Amino acid sequence: MSPVKTIVTFLFFAVLFEFIARLFFVRRRSSIEFPASSLCALAVLLPEYLNLEGVVPFPWMTIISLAGVSFYPVAYTRMARGLIGTRAKPRQLVLAAISAVSMAFMIVFSEQATRIASILLMIFSIRTAWLFPGSASAPPLIRPILRIALVAVMASSARSAWTGASVYYAAGTGALHALTSLLLFYDHHAHVARILAHFGKSRKLNRGLMLSNTRLRRKVEQLKSLVQEQDNELLRMSRHASLAEVATGIAHELAQPLTGIKAIAQNMMDDINYDEFDNLEAAAELMKVCTLVDKSASIIDRIRNFSRRIGINMRIMDLNGAILDAIDLVNTQFKKYDIDIILVLDENIARLHADRVSIEQLILNMLLNARDSIVEHRKTADNGYSGRITIATDQADDGVRLIIEDNGAGIPEDIARNMWSPFFTTKRGTNGTGIGLSISGRILREHNAGIRVESAPGRGASFIMTFPVLRERSGVESS
């Protein structure tokens, strides 16, 4: 078998196999251009393969072969433009017109068809060689191999034009197409390998990211727990600070029943010593002792409940009752400062779903701040100035309102902007911790309550708090 026959046979079956494979694996419209180029290459190779096998081609095969030679430059350029890219946009209509004119010349001048086809392929090879080597999208390995293949097509076409034998340009066309297919398959394989490598790196990075996220999540939970502990500690400090401020008044309240108990006990001892002990009178005195003990126990219970372990315990509660309990803690001290507490409580207000101790602390913080404002204002006020704090409750459309108003020094605008910030205080020395109003703001947020402050320097301040109305539900505990 001659080398030419071997090459043409190999190229024919290689392109045929590639054409069939492309038909099965075409998935995109743009990929159709490759089978079209393969079909044109097969049309060029088929008559030459049959001639070399000793089979006389049918006349229509000659026309198909001429059509394949004429339109192969158009099909190959479109395929190459879509899959390799070029530095200049090919003019497809011009190429199609040249191919159609070339085919017409080959049909009219059938004796010179081989030379016309060879010249067409030479022009196509020169043009393609100008387009592809400068392509930025073509991989570096493809460029030199394409140059060699295009030079081979030029040489084979030139030999066909010189000898008049079409087998040479047919072999060059088939070789160019087969080599391009191999190069594109290699480039596709390399591209897939790069994608898989990127996926591998991405999976590795994702695993590392997931581990980092897990560690960060644990750290965030730890920080949240730490912040919650510090927040609770701050709340505990605020309660203890409030108790420390009213300790004098509490001691006075406890001293009263204890003094009474002592006096009754002394009287009973005197009666026993002088043999004047009367059982009925002793029983009455002991009843008084029990009453005084109950009063002392009530005071101690209020202190213990107020300073108990931190924790929100939401129950149905009476706001007016919480106000009265909070006032019991400061009433004696406020009398010492000559501050009157005026109560305007609406008995028909709805009950709240709230933590009673937190509400008492809120009221106590507001009262202590009002006391400090009055004491400060008294330094510059007239002699007839009398401190006054008004506590009012009423039912509004949007909830239950608690209003605490004083006639103290008022709140300047620059202080009003920062007074809810933790550790912000205007009290000098060790008189203030700066956490009272901050804790009050937190309590209001925990109860979904709103607050509005109305104040003017020298005219006192009014804190208007609105708590959401309780929707009565079965199974909700009351306090």
CATH number, domain with residue 467: 3.30.565.10
Count the domains in the chain: 3
In this structure, are 340 and 282 located in the same domain?
A: no
Query: What pLDDT does residue 243 have?
Result: 59
Residue 226 lies in a domain: no
In this structure, are 417 and 272 located in the same domain?
A: no
Statement: residue 430 has pLDDT above 50: no
Residue 214 lies in a domain: no
Residue 361 lies in a domain: yes
Query: What pLDDT does residue 389 have?
Result: 93
Query: What pLDDT does residue 466 have?
Result: 93
Read off the pLDDT of each residue in 384-391 and give the average, rounded to a whole number: 89
Residue in 298, 351, 319 with CA at minimum distance from that of residue 477: 351
Beta bridge partners of 388: 340
In this structure, are 412 and 431 located in the same domain?
A: yes
Statement: residue 400 has pLDDT above 90: yes
Question: What pLDDT band is residue 319 in, cutting at 50, 70 and 90?
Answer: very high
The H or E element that residue 467 is part of is strand 461-467
In this structure, are 34 and 173 located in the same domain?
A: yes
Query: What pLDDT does residue 473 have?
Result: 43
The pTM for the full model equals 0.45
In this structure, are 8 and 154 located in the same domain?
A: yes
Residue type at 330 in one-letter notation: V
Query: What pLDDT does residue 426 have?
Result: 62
Beta carbons within 8 Å of 52's beta carbon, 6+ residues apart: 4, 5, 8, 9, 167
Q: What is the mean pLDDT of the chain?
A: 76
Higher pLDDT, 204 or 109: 204
**Among 172, 201, 230, where does a domain finish?**
201
Read off the pLDDT of each residue in 151-160 and give the average, rounded to a whole number: 79
In this structure, are 389 and 266 located in the same domain?
A: no
* Sign (positive or negative) of CA dihedral 368, 362, 253, 304: negative
In this structure, are 170 and 275 located in the same domain?
A: no
In this structure, are 14 and 127 located in the same domain?
A: yes
Residue 56, both tokens: 């006389």
**Among 308, 341, 359, where does a domain finish?**
308
Higher pLDDT, 460 or 98: 460
The 10s digit of each residue's pLDDT in 278-315 is 777 777 777 877 876 776 776 676 666 655 555 667 88
Query: What pLDDT does residue 475 have?
Result: 42
In this structure, are 124 and 36 located in the same domain?
A: yes
Three-class secondary structure of residue 401 per DSSP: strand
Residue 17 lies in a domain: yes
In this structure, are 149 and 57 located in the same domain?
A: yes
The 10s digit of each residue's pLDDT in 24-81 is 765 554 467 777 778 888 888 777 777 777 777 677 777 777 777 777 777 777 776 6
In this structure, are 328 and 265 located in the same domain?
A: no
Determine the structural domain holding residue 131 and report its residue range: 3-201
H helical segments located in 421-465: 436-446
Residue in 369, 374, 390, 338 with CA at minimum distance from that of residue 436: 369
Residue 291 lies in a domain: yes
Read off the pLDDT of each residue in 465-475 and give the average, rounded to a whole number: 68
Query: What pLDDT does residue 421 have?
Result: 65
Question: What pLDDT band is residue 477 in, cutting at 50, 70 and 90?
Answer: very low
Q: In angstroms, rounded to a whole number, what is the distance separating the alpha carbons of residues 291 and 260?
A: 10
Read off the pLDDT of each residue in 358-374 and give the average, rounded to a whole number: 86
The 10s digit of each residue's pLDDT in 243-278 is 565 555 566 556 666 776 777 777 777 667 766 667
Q: In angstroms, rounded to a whole number, what is the distance separating the alpha carbons of residues 295 and 306?
A: 17
Statement: residue 441 has pLDDT above 80: yes
Question: What pLDDT band is residue 161 in, cutting at 50, 70 and 90?
Answer: confident
Q: In angstroms, rounded to a whole number, what is the distance separating the alpha carbons of residues 263 and 271?
A: 12
Read off the pLDDT of each residue in 106-128 and give the average, rounded to a whole number: 77
Q: 252 with 276: CB under 8 angstroms? A: no
Read off the pLDDT of each residue in 99-105 and give the average, rounded to a whole number: 77
Question: What pLDDT band is residue 467 in, cutting at 50, 70 and 90?
Answer: very high
Residue 94 lies in a domain: yes
The 10s digit of each residue's pLDDT in 168-218 is 878 888 787 787 777 777 777 878 888 999 999 999 999 999 999 989 999
Residue 216 lies in a domain: no
Q: In angstroms, rounded to a whole number, what is the distance separating the alpha carbons of residues 268 and 272?
A: 6
Statement: residue 478 has pLDDT above 70: no
The H or E element that residue 3 is part of is helix 3-25
Residue 188 lies in a domain: yes
In this structure, are 156 and 276 located in the same domain?
A: no
Read off the pLDDT of each residue in 393-415 and give the average, rounded to a whole number: 87
Higher pLDDT, 412 or 474: 412
Question: What pLDDT band is residue 342 in, cutting at 50, 70 and 90?
Answer: very high
Query: What pLDDT does residue 304 have?
Result: 65
400 secondary structure, DSSP code: E
Statement: residue 384 has pLDDT above 50: yes
Q: In angstroms, rounded to a whole number, what is the distance separating the alpha carbons of residues 219 and 225?
A: 10
**Among 144, 174, 201, where does a domain finish?**
201
Q: 362 with 444: CB under 8 angstroms? A: yes
Q: What is the dihedral of CA 57, 61, 66, 70, to 10 degrees?
A: -140
The H or E element that residue 92 is part of is helix 92-108
